[in-house]
Structure 1
């Protein structure tokens, strides 16, 4: 079954805008993650030397990865701010705003002078625009997820919610393709000006994504809540933390192993393979991009699976598989064989990460009432992405500098997999005993 046929509306669907919703959420999320991941790729390749030139190569790399993490620190703040307006004003207008802000910040990074040109002001501006990127992304995932889940029939919420996750590998694939083209176009001038191309391409992509997103209507569930005059709390974040803090913790646990595995593959491996193993940049990016393409196809399949066996069971299976997979990942990368590297990345993203990520939109949204759902769902994704995804590349680089091998990295991810399994079961128990209110 293809993704298109899986989400094709039927007579029972009674929702003529479903195709627009799918396209809008998919294109908008792909673009926002593309813009976010382009920075991660450039942090691994050139930004350390261009914006943090003082000190050793390791220090520059760690500084670039730390700046990569700054965007993640801003995500929960963006989730609170944009979640507030998403719950009060609606999902559509908030998503349009977040998309525009992300696009402008990304283009601005592509136009920045380097440290050599303007000195310390360069890294300051880089960090500032990275913060803006993080704020914008903090409101994207939750809003796009709700556009899909709140437009779906009850028996298809797993499938529809999974589509938002295609934005993650879709953005990574697009970033890999455009970065590879930039390397090819600029050649040995990549560090001089070629690195700017992927950032500047965002301007064109933004226009296309905005055109599509403007054509979508507000979700039926949000409109129904407003029609019944269901009041949104003055501060949705307050209600989320008072009544749903357990759900936020469980969401953190469920999302933690997937964040670690994905960002190890998507960002850290680029530096680990190119600097540590002397593998060509193009080889790593092609393997990563090809794995991401396959991942785009497995996500809706896992979404269908989650509708049949349950979203919490799907997440549980993903956590268990993650624990078995991570000890073998680096051994496969260490072979330096492009095909084995491709297989490792494909298993990690299209298999392990898909099982962990695809059910999250439906799993998390079921735990929050409509009046605070944008805030709750956004934070459910933003907190683990910040604390785990935003730091794992830095932590992995630091661990390897301590031990000269990946043993501590493996132990770290194994611990997160155990946490993920326990929290998946916790969602099942809480869903039975504590209906949303």
Structure 2
């Protein structure tokens, strides 16, 4: 069968005519052999741009319709949230209006918290106290903690310190190891101390020690414990009333303390060789020991192997570590002139020894003052144990040559001295 001849010129003319044709017509106009041209990227973008105003109008209409469909309760609650988020104290009445209009609403408790957080007055406390009862019945532990903080802040602003301590103390019962719990318990201890409730203050401060507190919080708690316990002890130290035929040396032997320490504890004596009968002498406390915890960066003052209070310290760096082991105090110096002369003999010296120095049985190492607040947070030494000057002065009333010092590389288990603390 002969092959069919193809007229190339006719084919080219048909192709050219197709390209010049009106593309809006159907494919049948030009024949099925040549399909319609596909839309280009520019055409797609152009069509999308043209449709944007229509989409915007539809979205706006949907939002307007949704707003009208919302209930009055929802609109008022959204307004309350805006007032709280933007801290608009001058519009706090919107929150109060919502609670008055919808007391059974699911947001009524949150509205009470918002009011208390912004208002901090007696009325806010009363509102939140009502919400607290609801929270105790059906609230989550996190919500209860938030409520306790709100109530505590509200009671503090209103001047009801006793109620604030009670509310902050509720955080301990929730067993939530969070920074907010630590802050609540610390506030309870601080307010208890301000009230003069020493027992509760010590209990709250000690509770912080079992929580994941920050370094700054532990420093504050340690100072609170020191302020309460050692302050009361210094104001009322153990005493001995001098009887007939007693001398300073016989009293020192009876108490089991060096005569030098007995003299230092009684600087008001006019003549150490003549002790008047009936005089009350301060007796240095026995059974004192120290534990330095390197990971905690704390020095613990112990009496009869129970912790009385901690002191924040600065310890050696990684390349100049503090020596570990069972050591003891071999010297004690508070004279400024002697301290200046000793500075060069300290490991890593010359060093600023502050107001006092306890030399350890490891030559060149000791416990001394001169630390700053910044060093307590992140500082390091050349191997010595460093405290602030006020702490070294407080320890000076209890530490004597021969006092045991244990420096440990692991955090010790804390066994607190039984309350009330009495070292006599």
Say which structure, 1 or 2, has more relative contact order (CA 8 Å, 6+ apart).
1
Please give the range of the TM-score, normalised by the shorter of the 2 chains: under 0.3
Tell me which structure has the larger Cα radius of gyration: 2
Q: Tell me the TM-score normalised to structure 2 length.
A: 0.23
Higher helix share: 1
Higher strand share: 2
